[in-house]
Amino acid sequence: MAALSETSLSLIASAPLTSATATKALLEVLLVLTAVYYIFHLTSPSRLLRALLAAIAELESSYIDALERGAFSPSDLSIAATLAALQLKVSTIREAALRNSLSYRAALREFLKGQTLTMLQCIHEVRVLGTHIELLYQQILKEAHLRASSPDVEAFESVTRAVAVRQRCKY
């Protein structure tokens, strides 16, 4: 085994170090460092917290719009309870992230404990509920369209006009 390692060392030492191999090695190191930087950047708690807050704000807006459109009734407790639970979860995550942002050591400890994964999971849950609310609204539009194929065409046209005006005002 010792003879093998001496042979390997002698081959490495005798290999000429050209500028092309040095440049290639430097580029490989820079590529790895860039990849690590972007992984940490994309999973940083501050970036994920901004995405989470934007997602929950969009969900709250969708919920209110769906209530106004009549996609479900205010007495539908399953969606309201899920929204309230998500709001509490987001609030808890935000509080922890703000507290940990004061210290690099605390931020690193929470990162290693999996705070990033918790934030990603919460973002996913928020988007799933938003999609569910949007599907309920699309179902209402579909039912309105089916009713519009009957003699009540004016009701469908007024609903679609109201939705179009609301969408234009929203953006």
Residue 127 located in a structural domain: yes
Q: Is the pLDDT of residue 154 over 80?
A: no
Return the percentage of the chain with pLDDT > 90, whole number: 25
Residue 24 located in a structural domain: no
Distance between CA atoms of 168 and 171, rounded to whole angstroms? 6
Q: Is the pLDDT of residue 126 over 60?
A: yes
> Structural domain tally of the chain?
1
Continuous H helices in the chain = 2-14, 19-42, 45-69, 77-100, 104-113, 115-148, 153-170
Residue 23 located in a structural domain: no
Q: Is the pLDDT of residue 170 over 60?
A: no
The domain in which residue 113 lies consists of 45-170
Mean predicted confidence (pLDDT) in 128-146: 85
Residue 141 located in a structural domain: yes
Question: Highest-confidence range of 69-73, 89-93, 98-102, 138-142, by mean pLDDT?
Answer: 89-93
Q: What is the sign of the dihedral through the CA atoms of 62, 67, 69 and 70?
A: positive
pLDDT at 166: 58
pLDDT at 73: 74
Q: Is 134 exposed, middle or buried (0-12, 13-18, 19+ CB in 10 A)?
A: middle
pLDDT at 50: 92
pLDDT at 167: 55
Dig out the tokens for 77 from the structure.
């407790």
Is the full-model pTM beyond 0.75? no
Rg (CA), the chain: 28
pLDDT at 140: 82
42 or 1: which carries more pLDDT confidence? 42
Residue 73 located in a structural domain: yes
Backbone conformation region of residue 57, classed left if phi is above 0, alpha if psi is from -120 to 50, else beta:
alpha
Residue 54 pLDDT class (50, 70, 90 cuts): very high
Q: Is the pLDDT of residue 52 over 50?
A: yes
pLDDT at 171: 43
